[in-house]
């Protein structure tokens, strides 16, 4: 090989190594498994590091032996052909026993690690969240707080968390790599009365505030890869603020006072939570105290409650919308993403999602403006919303921050 070619390859090697180093040291990987931020994550990370270094040790031993053999037994001029070895009992025992020992050495700490992650449940007073995976989104219900949200899970830093996992349809898997996991999200199987159905749980305490990306990790259908989620880990105060905001109807959630009677009297929705009236009035006075409401937002509210059947599937806290089939939309405007982590949350994307959800997510269970869906044997017709209605609807939903 000429010297120029050699130089070319040598430069290429160093350039590639440099590039890999730069890329490898970055921290902008939102689904990294090697930057754990929970006790659970640390358990599996320690295991990973331990096994990694053992593997490196094995690699070194093999490389040294191989080099020795290549040098020691290389072909030399005038040398006879070496004698082949057949049926060497000592060798056969060695290459059976050594790998078996390596496997055992990996299995023992792995099994210990699994039990360790379950011991995390002994933490007192965890914040419980009922996680329900559905094709293709996530519902999060906080039974102790009476809060329900979707796709963006808010959790306080430093407080033990217990996630109860179940599926509304097929098997999913809850995986937020930086928090540790993953764990299967299974449909609940019927059990004899009085018995508690079996569900998987996940326990951890987050140590660092941040937004952590997650992903369904069990193939569940055509949009499996589009079933993302975000975990918003925040200080206890910020978390409490978020809970308070969720409980308080957004200023634009309900119509200003003069509209209330008209809506509750003749509205398309008859199921009205007992508290909605009072909170509606409170929110309304807040609205009227401010400048007159944006007509587009008022129009969007009208479309939601009177000109569509959104309320059959969606709920919004403090309004008469009671649906539980689809994601809870309370304070949708404050979310970062739409469609389970797939789209940035803005007017344009929300309009696209409402008009044609399957263009974003094949198999999405929400009807489009032009096509129906069948969900659990029930057919929901096309929403038939026109562009003007969709624009207003999106503007209203986004106004509730
Ligand atoms: Cu849900 Cu894959």
State the closest ligand 1 atom to the C-alpha of 185, by its place in the atom list counted from 1: 1
C-alpha to C-alpha distances, 97 to 63, 101, 102, 320, nearest whole angstrom: 20, 6, 9, 69
Third-level CATH fold of 1-9+27-75+86-187+198-247: Immunoglobulin-like (2.60.40)
Which H helix or E strand runs over 338? Answer: strand 337-338
Please, what's the b/e burial string for 193-221 (b: 16 or more CB within 10 A of its CB; e: otherwise)? eeeeeebbebbbbbeebeebbbbbbbebe
Residue 231 CB less than 6 A away from ligand 1: no
Which residues partner with 165 through β-bridges? Answer: 131, 200
For residue 120, how many C-alpha atoms fall within 13 Å in the half-sphere facing its CB?
27
Pairing between β-strand 127-134 and β-strand 160-167 as defined by DSSP bridges: parallel
- Please give the distance, rounded to the nearest whole angstrom, from the Cα atom of residue 224 to the centre of ligand 1: 4
Tokens coding 219: 């193939």
State the closest ligand 1 atom to the C-alpha of 220, by its place in the atom list counted from 1: 2
Give the start-to-end residue ranges of the domains of the chain: 1-9+27-75+86-187+198-247, 251-399
Q: φ and ψ at 362, to 5 degrees?
A: -60, 135
How far apart (Å, rounded) are the C-alpha atoms in residues 304 and 325? 16
The pLDDT of residue 261? 45
Q: Which CATH class is domain 251-399?
A: mainly alpha
The pLDDT of residue 263? 46
Question: pLDDT tens, position by position, for the chain (401 residues)?
Answer: 578 888 889 999 999 998 888 777 766 678 888 889 999 999 999 999 999 999 999 999 999 999 999 998 888 888 888 788 888 899 899 999 999 999 999 999 999 999 999 888 877 789 999 999 999 999 999 999 999 999 999 999 999 999 999 999 999 999 999 998 789 999 998 888 888 889 999 999 999 999 999 999 999 999 999 999 999 999 999 999 999 999 999 988 888 765 444 444 444 444 444 444 445 555 545 545 455 789 999 999 999 999 999 999 999 998 999 999 999 999 999 999 999 999 999 999 999 999 999 999 998 999 999 999 998 888 999 999 999 999 999 999 999 99
Residue 218 CB less than 6 A away from ligand 1: yes
How far apart (Å, rounded) are the C-alpha atoms in residues 4 and 23? 28
Residue 224 CB less than 6 A away from ligand 1: yes
CB-based burial of residue 319 (10 Å sphere; 0-12 exposed, 13-18 middle, 19+ buried)?
A: buried
- Please give the distance, rounded to the nearest whole angstrom, from the Cα atom of residue 137 to the centre of ligand 1: 8
- Please give the distance, rounded to the nearest whole angstrom, from the Cα atom of residue 132 to the centre of ligand 1: 11
For residue 139, how many C-alpha atoms fall within 13 Å in the half-sphere facing its CB?
23
The pLDDT of residue 274? 43
pTM: 0.81
Residue whose CA is at the smallest distance from ligand 1 atom 1: 172
Tens digits of residue pLDDT in 272-307: 444 444 455 555 455 454 557 899 999 999 999 999
The pLDDT of residue 275? 46
Residue 226 CB less than 6 A away from ligand 1: no
Tens digits of residue pLDDT in 213-234: 999 999 999 999 999 999 999 9
State the closest ligand 1 atom to the C-alpha of 171, by its place in the atom list counted from 1: 1
Distance of CA 71 to the CA centre of its chain: 53
- Phi-psi map region of 216: left, alpha, beta (phi>0 left; psi -120 to 50 alpha): beta
């Amino acid at each position: 090989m000429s010297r120029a070619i050699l130089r070319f390859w040598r430069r290429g090697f160093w350039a590639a190594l440099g590039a890999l180093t730069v890329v490898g040291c970055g921290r902008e990987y939102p689904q990294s498994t090697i930057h754990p931020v929970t006790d659970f994550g640390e358990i599996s990370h320690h295991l990973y590091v331990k096994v990694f270094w053992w593997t490196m040790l094995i690699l070194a031993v093999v490389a040294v032996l191989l080099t020795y053999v290549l040098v020691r037994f290389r072909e030399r001029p005038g040398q006879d052909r070496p004698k082949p070895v057949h049926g060497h009992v000592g060798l056969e025992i060695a290459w059976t026993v050594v790998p078996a020992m390596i496997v055992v050495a990996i299995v023992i700490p792995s099994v210990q690690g699994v039990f360790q992650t379950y011991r995390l449940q002994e933490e007192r007073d965890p914040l419980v969240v009922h996680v329900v995976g559905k094709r293709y989104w996530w519902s999060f219900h906080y039974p102790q707080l009476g809060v329900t949200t979707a796709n963006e899970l808010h959790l306080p830093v430093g407080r033990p968390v217990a996630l109860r996992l179940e599926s509304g349809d097929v098997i999913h898997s809850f995986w937020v790599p930086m928090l540790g996991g993953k764990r299967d999200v299974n449909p609940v199987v019927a059990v004899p009365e009085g018995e508690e159905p079996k569900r998987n749980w996940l326990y951890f305490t987050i140590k660092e505030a941040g937004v952590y990306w997650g992903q369904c990790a069990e193939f569940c259908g055509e949009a499996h890869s589009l079933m993302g989620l975000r975990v918003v880990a925040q200080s206890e105060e910020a978390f409490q603020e978020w809970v308070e905001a969720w409980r308080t109807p957004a200023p634009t959630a309900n119509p200003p006072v003069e509209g209330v009677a008209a809506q509750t009297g003749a509205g398309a929705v008859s199921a009205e939570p007992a508290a909605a009236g009072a909170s509606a009035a409170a929110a309304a006075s807040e609205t009227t105290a401010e400048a007159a409401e944006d007509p587009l937002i008022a129009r969007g509210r009208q479309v939601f409650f009177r000109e569509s059947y959104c309320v059959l599937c969606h709920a919004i806290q403090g309004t008469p919308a009671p649906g539980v089939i689809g994601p809870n939309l309370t304070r949708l405007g404050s979310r970062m993403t739409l469609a389970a982590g797939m789209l940035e949350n803005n007017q344009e994307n929300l309009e696209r999602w409402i008009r044609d959800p399957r263009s974003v997510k094949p198999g999405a269970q929400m009807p489009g403006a032009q096509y129906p869906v069948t969900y659990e044997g029930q057919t929901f017709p096309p929403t038939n919303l026109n562009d003007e209605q969709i624009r207003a609807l999106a503007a209203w939903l986004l106004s509730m921050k």
